[in-house]
Amino acid sequence: MVKCDIKDKSLAPKGKLRIEWADKQMPVLRMIRERFEKEKPLAGLKMSCCLHVTTETANLMRTLKAGGADIVLCASNPLSTQDDVAASLVVDYGISVFAKKGEDTETYYSHLKAAIEHGPDITQDDGCDLVGLLHKEYGDSYLKNVIGGTEETTTGVIRLKSMEKDGALRIPIIAVNESETKHLFDNRYGTGQSTIDGLLRATNVLLSGKNFVVCGYGWCGRGLAMRAKGMGANVTVTEVDYVKAIEAVMDGFRVMKLEDAMSFADIIITVTGNLNVVDEKHIRLAKDGVMIANSGHFNDEINIDALERLSVSKRTVRDFVEEYTLKDGRRVYLLAEGRLLNLAAAEGHPAVVMDMSFANQALGAEYLVRNAHNMEKKVYVLPTELDQEIARLKLESMGISIDELTEEQKAYLSSWQSGT
């Protein structure tokens, strides 16, 4: 009997079909799964995984299980779970899942605890909730058995580096997010497309001609701004980093303070990983009818408490759209409760881009098995060779060949004696 807490096992057939559809677009992970099936690099190991429960994650779980791992999966966000996928993982693949779309905070943390109490040798996290709770509430009784973990997202890496700096990190962590085959593609192309997908599913709004404000110009912000511009929106970028701000200017976007953009913004989306990016002072300046959403990891980028205080009424007008009426009659529309728009209102990133991200996760787990005994309690990046190999396999699956350096060129690049 597979331990689980999911919404409805009868959803499994639909979930299985969707998992198989995603698998067709994940050739690199499939190649890794075929090798894992033969070599069993994770045999005898317990893994606790806190990730968005999507079709792409399901194929990662299948890969880890093929490698011999005993897995418990829980959600890394209360609204991101795809209930049919959770059902199929339990029913069709025999993997323990503790996740329900729309679960409350108490249930969310009970599911995190279920994953931790599995007694993992390796953790996989997306946002550092699992590793954070493991350190704060469980300590040595569980940490002593953990050889290391992996972290999927920018927000989680920031938290983990803070733990390392404070001397609080008790296990080695591989920051999957720092791999080039992750953040250059998942964060940019994945977040860009999936956020627009979530916005359109939630609102059915026409983007052409809209004043679209992107808060943050990291890789996620770059991708979102690029896609919004491609849909015909007038894009404005807000930033706190001078270099990123000038980059946005050179990329052809207007750049200004958020408070200066509030008077004309039709749509505002935060992708910063920070707190109260849209704050009370901004809400007070908001244009009537503005839509505000977030595609950063946590739902604290928008000051929802301030929005509640400034409002006289609130109602749900569409799935994932709440209308707040301010005291002077202006209306502000909050999408997906301020949580990840691309996962709450849509399906998250396309499988073809998650293929590389989750190849990093699978190879990261294997790397820990082989190297954890030589690793310190720090945040690491996967070796460049693995990054290059994932990119090579992806190109190969796409039927693309590239040039190789000749021995003469290699010698030239490594020499200081050649010149003008």
Average pLDDT over residues 112-134: 98
Average pLDDT over residues 101-119: 98
Extract the tokens encoding 37: 């099936």
Residue pLDDT, tens place only, 299-331: 999 999 999 999 999 999 999 999 999 999 999
Average pLDDT over residues 412-418: 89
For residues 84 and 18, is the Cβ–Cβ distance under 8 A? yes
Q: What is the 3-state secondary structure (H, E, C) of 219-250?
A: HHHHHHHHHHHHCCCEEEEECCCHHHHHHHHH
Residue pLDDT, tens place only, 23-55: 999 999 999 999 999 999 999 999 999 999 999
Average pLDDT over residues 60-82: 97
Residue 420 predicted with pLDDT over 80? no
Extract the tokens encoding 17: 């079909």
pLDDT at 391: 97
Kindly write down the DSSP assignment for every residue of 163-198, as one continuous string: HHHTT---S-EEEGGGSHHHIIIIIIIIHHHHHHHH
411 by Cβ neighbours in 10 Å (0-12 / 13-18 / 19+) ranks as: exposed
Closest CA to 252 of 275, 285, 229, 221: 229
Phi, psi of 302 (to 5 degrees): -110, 130
Put the strands of the sheet holding 4-5 in their side by side order: 4-5, 96-98, 70-74, 46-50, 122-125, 148-151, 173-175, 379-380
pLDDT at 302: 98
Residue pLDDT, tens place only, 334-351: 999 999 999 999 999 999
Residue 418 predicted with pLDDT over 90? no
Residue 113's identity, in one-letter code, is: K
Residue 178 predicted with pLDDT over 90? yes
Extract the tokens encoding 147: 């050889």
Residue 39 bridge partners (DSSP): none
Domains of the chain in start order, with CATH, are: 4-182+351-397 (3.40.50.1480), 188-344 (3.40.50.720)
Residue 75 predicted with pLDDT over 90? yes
Confidence of residue 1 (pLDDT cuts 50, 70, 90): confident
pLDDT at 417: 84
pLDDT at 297: 84
268 by Cβ neighbours in 10 Å (0-12 / 13-18 / 19+) ranks as: buried
**d(C-alpha 317, C-alpha 315), whole Å:** 6
Residue pLDDT, tens place only, 262-302: 999 999 999 999 999 999 999 999 999 999 999 998 899 99
Residue pLDDT, tens place only, 192-251: 999 999 999 999 999 999 999 999 999 999 999 999 999 999 999 999 999 999 999 999
pLDDT at 344: 95
**d(C-alpha 353, C-alpha 350), whole Å:** 6
Average pLDDT over residues 70-83: 97
Task: Report the predicted TM-score, pTM, of the whole model to 2 decimal places.
Answer: 0.94
For residues 76 and 50, is the Cβ–Cβ distance under 8 A? yes
